[in-house]
Amino acid sequence: MSQRVTFITGAAGDLGSAVARRLAANGDALILADVDADRLSALEQELSHLGHGVLTRQLDVTDEDAVRAVVDAGVTQFGTITSLFNNAGISGGTFPLPEHPLDDFRRTIDINLVAMFVVLKHALPVIAQNDDGWVVNTASEAGLKANERRGAYAAAKAGVIQLSRAAALEYSREGVRVNALCPGPLEGKLMRVSEGGMPDPEEFRARITAASAVGRYGAPDEVAGFVTYLLTEAPGYLTGATLSADGCRR
């Protein structure tokens, strides 16, 4: 099959939709999944006129049967899956450790890490059937350098980095590149949630931007360009890497 077919989870979010737009413009067929059905429908309407094929499914990535069904539907419609942007995630709660509710901690780990594993479990064997394959798992700079009141998120994203490395060790000889992407703060919903959980949101934003060499949050489309490269052009030797797109955070 000559056409590239990319599966994107968290497709309706700021970064996921920016990547979907770039890949659609490049000619990819897209399997777009997100829990937000309204934003997903709007994205489908935006991209479907390009004519390369768009399949959308509302998806709770923690539901293994539902993940399997989306992968199967994509293969039925397009014949295969050639690449995966494993991008679904949540900000999680912002709490001092002694006050962090256990249910929120578990939910943050479940969506940001366990669900990454579930998607890889069902998508990787399909991707490996092609001569080439690409996988990008969204981690975070928080997986490399934890922030206060964000322990669950940092722990989950650190786990994504090691899960990506393990998958690369297992699948690189089958022609599948698996890399972890660590974005810095991006304009959009996740950072608004993080700011809202802080005692002084404006002070938090100022402190975060001051720690970046570029002095601002990133734009989702800036990082989407990097993701598109990793999903379309990255050479076979670039696998198992942890790659930052963080505006040179200090």
**Catalytic positions, please?**
153
Residue with tokens 């489908």: 44
Beta strands in the chain (DSSP E): 5-9, 29-34, 54-58, 83-86, 133-138, 176-183, 242-245
Tokens read off for 9: 């989870």
- From CA 14, how far away is CA 178, in angstroms rounded? 22
DSSP three-state, residue 165: helix
At residue 240, φ and ψ (nearest 5 deg) are 75, 15
The count of residues in the chain is 250
Say how many C-beta atoms besides its own lie within 10 A of residue 114's C-beta.
Answer: 16
CA-based Rg of the chain, rounded to a whole angstrom? 17
Residue with tokens 């940092």: 154
Say how many C-beta atoms besides its own lie within 10 A of residue 3's C-beta.
Answer: 13
